[in-house]
Amino acid sequence: MKPQIVTEVPGPRSREIWEREKQHITSGLAPCTLLAPIVFERGEGALVWDVDGNCYIDCAAGVLTNSTGHCHPKVVSALQEQAGRLWHIHDFPTPQRYELCELLAERCPPGIDTFEFYSGGTETVEAALRAAISYTRRYEFISFHHGYHGKTLGSRGLALWWGKGFGPVNGSGIRSPFAYCYRCPFGLTYPACDLRCAEYLREGIRFNSWGSIAGIVFEPVLGAGGVVVPPDGFLERVTEIARAEGALVVADEVLTGVGRTGTFLALEHWDIQPDLVFFGKGLGSGFPIMALGGKREIMTATPYGSPGGASTSFGGNPLAVAVALSTLQVIEEENLLAHTQEMGRLLAERFAVLKEKHPLVGDVRGVGLLWGIELVKDRKTREPAEEEGRQVYLESLQRGLKTITPGHVTRFSPPLNIPRELLEMAVDIYDVTLSAVERRCGYSEA
């Protein structure tokens, strides 16, 4: 099976359905969707079909959620079986939730042995902040430019670039530059820079903290902010600073966790021991379930750990737990971490070639099956090629490749079990598309 496009994209049936839906659905859907409101109806592995019969390689994996691909037979049968037994029973213990906790305790770094489950990432971020405040009795958080943690008041407070129009957020925070080397705010080059960005954090703390830092919250690899893999030493240095301040190390692995970077957690690429870590886009293969894990003394500190302090309506319901367990089993049985690492090496090679060949490509970054291709108008000025990025996104779809983020950073994040041939095909389509957009926009090949 391979991608095949048989109509224009979006096709006539998609357009007909969207015309009706758009009368009643918010205009605040994701840019990917709004630019190409394709009506999808079926998925299998790394492929998805729309209502017009077009088939695409899903290099967005939903929104980096479908870790085991679309409708993995084992995951589907786990869900079906559970659906006939028990859907929801508040947060009473169930025959499977302890199994999930035990498995996660095995997979997580030493000391992370206590969990609570949620249905969405933002909600989990908020829970982590509550847990950190409960344990430390402090209220400030350190976070990073280009980080993304969600859309609620607390989570937006960690990332002020998102959602400015919504007005003020909790002011108790220090946001510091991440090690985004391609766009170093200090104009320096690694390693000669000696990680000035991490050092700058000390200044930030000195001038902006009330001396009450509860935690440092970071994505080990920036996701929505542009897929930025920090150079060795950055997270270590930042963690060191946090420890010196008596702050908790809080890793947001919503996007990077559950194998996305080729290890269960991305933190494993460095020697960082978190106090709290949360993850889950891929935990339910697309079914909503997120996990917050932490050291027992943190997860039981009051008020987070007092009766009712952690629980929600849907978090860790029996359906979600069944799907998560079966997702973890599939990742294990099919050796998907090793496969992800191997596919990551393949992408590193293929994208390096694209970078040589295409003037639009300014930088390629990634690890495992989390990659970003940063498009620029000019390699010297590094001006982001936003419009070209949109065109690349749309034209890729027209050739049967679904990526994510129609802007100057294309994200390539297929299911962890994408077969090699499909991944190669996806890169071929992206290559051809880049050439077409470059030709039309007057870029000459590098």
Contact set with ligand PMP (CB under 6 A) = 120-122, 125, 148-150, 219, 223-224, 252, 254-255
Judged by beta carbon, residue 123 or residue 438, the one nearer ligand PMP is 123
Angle at 374 between CA 120 and CA 341, to 5 degrees: 65
Give the residue from 286, 219, 256, 221 showing the smallest Cα distance to 61.
Answer: 286
Q: Which is nearer to ligand PMP, 55 or 289 (CB)?
A: 289
Between residues 350 and 411, which has the closer beta carbon with respect to ligand PMP? Answer: 411
Minimum distance between the CB of residue 20 and ligand PMP, rounded to whole angstroms? 26
| For ligand PMP, the closer CB: 292 or 425 | 292
d(CA 281, CA 155): 17
The residue (of 54 and 122) whose beta carbon lies closer to ligand PMP is: 122
CB of 310 to ligand PMP, least distance (A): 17
Contacts 24+ apart (CB under 8 A), 383-388: 384/408, 385/360, 388/360, 388/437, 388/441
Dihedral sign, CA of 158, 162, 163, 164? positive
CA nearest 310: which of 161, 69, 128, 120? 128
The per-residue DSSP string of 244-267 comes to HHT-EEEEEETTTTTTTTSSSSGG
Question: For residue 127, what is the enclosing H or E element?
Answer: helix 121-136
Q: Nearest distance from residue 313's CB to ligand PMP, in Å? A: 15
* Closest residue to ligand PMP: CB criterion: 121
| Nearest distance from C-beta of residue 290 to ligand PMP, angstroms | 7
Report the distance separating Cα 182 and Cα 383, nearest Å. Answer: 12
Nearest approach, Cβ of residue 405 and ligand PMP (Å) = 11
Nearer to ligand PMP, 3 or 372 (CB): 372
Instruction: Provide the minimum distance between the beta carbon of 36 and ligand PMP in the complex, in angstroms, as a whole number.
Output: 19
Give me the half-sphere count of Cα atoms (radius 13 Å) on the Cβ side of residue 17. 13
Amino acid at 131: A
**Separation between Cα atoms, residue 117 and residue 153, nearest integer Å:** 20
First to last CA, the chain: 34
> Least Å distance between CB 219 and ligand PMP?
5
DSSP secondary-structure letter at 139?
Answer: -
Instruction: Specify the residue, 146 or 355, whose C-beta has the smaller distance to ligand PMP.
Output: 146
Please, what is the minimum distance in Å from the beta carbon of residue 224 to ligand PMP? 5
Of 120 and 384, CB closest to ligand PMP: 120
